[in-house]
Chains A and B, each alone.
Chain A
């Protein structure tokens, strides 16, 4: 097995792991993390397409490489926006949950805790 195929299999495993984390982890921050994991798995699978298209004296096709670079930057921008949304939710509600039935604490409400 070549190192490219091996990397592709790792990419496939990462997509599976990330997808599981995205569905099964209830916390929004963990979902963002899992989504990033899944994204990097997709990039890796695309990366071996580049590697297997080595030609003209190049070790890998530059077009997919450039697209992956663009993808990494865009994935970061999306994560930054998602994290900012989660933090805003935390500031306003005092907790972070996607459960619509969760008891929402008011920001200055410490009385019912004790």
Chain B
């Protein structure tokens, strides 16, 4: 058994153990902290599957941003989740559930073991047309060129989620700012961290977006890192969340999908197909779309984490 194999097996056991912790831990807060660890370990598995783009996304969004969201919620719910009022499953029902879940897992495991070693693949087609897009990273090509409609709709889903979250605000807070007000005397440790980390993080985020054309990275991953930097600055309370009725905020939220859709429609008129890019201009157009997508993602994720407005709007 080679060292890598041993590491793989160790990693597999560790992940299943941490996952079990997030399910069986007593406190919700402890479970959510476990979930962040779990996400980071999972991104290592994605690297072992040679899917570095997915690993970056899992670490940034699956573990990082989702982790902040869940930890924040668990902290606010502390004491609110009264166990006494919950109808827990009886022992027999619990056993039955466990048995059925094990059955589902075993069936999936069987499918995994029966998979052929060389399955059907779209990799040759992806590489064949890669030169036309001017990109070097086939995953980015799938996201922004081959299956661009999916990606555009996904941006729409993000905007809809923001609309959904904002709609949960009480009537008098509509248009106000979510989160806490700027602190007069911010927590020194947090403020220091935010001041040191944010400039570096912004550089890293822009870099990951920019190299995404040719190397692992891209709009999602870069945008998520930029979003994280903004969230750190807000959490340190060096700045406060913007009012949700701010025009620039709403414009930035929809800029990504709107530019994407406009490019798609322009393709129908000038390049002979919805979301077709004219030959020779594909890469500049793709980078143009991605720039606005990064901006939208960097604003959407913190707004989703910040939740509905909780303060009355200033005039």
**Docked CA distance A29–B80 (Å):** 11
**In contact, A60 and B51 (Cβ under 8 angstroms):** yes
**In contact, A33 and B35 (Cβ under 8 angstroms):** yes
Q: For chain B, what secondary structure do more than half of its interface residues adopt (helix, strand, loop), or is it mixed?
A: helix
**Docked CA distance A105–B35 (Å):** 31
Q: A15-B108, A30-B31, A99-B87 are in contact. Are A20 and B101 (CB under 8 A)?
A: yes
**In contact, A4 and B49 (Cβ under 8 angstroms):** yes
Interface residues on B, range: 35 or more
B81 within 8 A of A: yes
**In contact, B105 and A66 (Cβ under 8 angstroms):** no
**Docked CA distance A18–B142 (Å):** 30
**In contact, B66 and A52 (Cβ under 8 angstroms):** no
Residues of chain A within 8 A (CB-CB) of B104 are: 15-16, 19
Interface string of B211-234 (1 = CB under 8 A from A): 000000000100000000000000
- For chain B, residues 82 to 132, give those with C-beta under 8 angstroms from any C-beta of chain A: 82, 85-89, 94, 97-98, 101-102, 104-106, 108-109, 111-113, 115-124, 126-128
In order of increasing CB-CB distance, the 5 nearest A-B pairs are: A16-B105, A59-B50, A8-B112, A53-B121, A12-B108
* A residues at B contact (CB < 8 Å): 3-21, 23-27, 29-30, 32-34, 36-37, 40, 43-45, 47-63, 65-70, 72-81, 83-88, 90, 94-97, 99, 101-103
A-B pairs with beta carbons under 8 Å apart, 18 shown: A7-B49, A11-B108, A11-B112, A13-B105, A18-B19, A20-B98, A24-B94, A30-B31, A32-B70, A36-B62, A54-B123, A55-B124, A60-B49, A61-B126, A65-B139, A69-B53, A77-B157, A84-B164
